[in-house]
Amino acid sequence: MNTLVILLLPFGLALALACGLRLGLGPERGARVAGVASVVAFLVAWGIVLRPGWFAADPVGRIGHIALGAAVVGFALDFIAAKRLWAALAAGVVVLVSCWASLNGTLWPVISFTWAKGAALIGLTAAAFLVVVRLDSMTARGLTAQITALMMCFGLAAVAAVAGDKALAATALILAMAIVGYAGAGVLMGLPASDGFVLGVGATLLAIAWAFVQRNAGVAVGLVLLPLMLFAEGTAQRVPLPKARISNFLYPLVLAGVSALPLVLAVLITLALRS
């Protein structure tokens, strides 16, 4: 029963909510703000399946808080159609606060600040911001951003499953199915990967990855390979495809296949480290 809930609940919620926002708010604003449906569907399904509670008492619980904060900011940016400069500044603040909360364990109280902790915060924030920026750069090219985020979710789910971390494996799989639901709505109604999608999903991915590092530090080296999926698009574009309409359906499969290579390597490394 839990497996069916993990697979069907976030998918159905994301599909229904995205279509409802598009129909309810119109073809312009509705399409812009529908991206938040993926994160809302994830939060609802994740709360039902894992029951993490209201307080961010551990790395898993903090995932929901980070996802919610990023989704709210992303929704606001989409709703007002913010210019790219303001969207970038808002994304930077969200990433910085999320990284601080991840390192500190909470927003308050403040940890005793040292140069090492400051360097860790700067490095983690820079890496996280680059991930979000890279996803954002893919949004104008069909389903590229959705497929890349989906494959990163599958990568996190596979590595967590190999490491024996069932909670994080389920968390990543729930996010993956919410992305599939939103992508389905996007195909049906022409919905883009908006700021709400990029910021919400990107921050949630990073929160899951950091939670895995904190809970499974001994086997977390394989995660280093997963960001390579962000650059799989260049390789996929070099694969010759037939000059026909079918190439529109084949390219997403090629992109997913190329993205699966670092996934397999990450799983093999995790298996080796665990054994």
Q: Is this structure's pTM higher than 0.85? A: yes
> What pLDDT does residue 58 have?
83
Closest CA to 202 of 21, 73, 29, 15: 73
Token reading at 103: 């390192």
Chain centre to alpha carbon of residue 271: 24
Cα dihedral 200, 205, 211, 213 sign = negative
- Percent of the chain at pLDDT > 90 equals 52
The answer, yes or no, to whether residue 145 has pLDDT greater than 80, is yes
Q: What is the mean pLDDT of the chain?
A: 88
Higher-confidence residue of 244 and 177: namely: 177
Query: Can you give the pLDDT at residue 147?
Result: 94
At residue 108, the pLDDT reads: 65
Model confidence pLDDT, tens digit, residues 45-80: 999 998 887 777 788 989 999 999 999 999 999 989
The pLDDT tens digits for 84-112 are: 888 889 988 998 888 888 777 776 656 56
Please give the pLDDT value at position 274: 87
Which residue intervals of the chain are DSSP H helices? 2-25, 31-33, 37-50, 59-80, 84-104, 115-137, 144-163, 166-189, 195-215, 232-237, 247-274
Q: Note the pLDDT of residue 82.
A: 84
Q: What is the pLDDT of residues 161-196, one digit of tens each?
A: 999 999 999 999 999 999 999 999 998 888 888 889
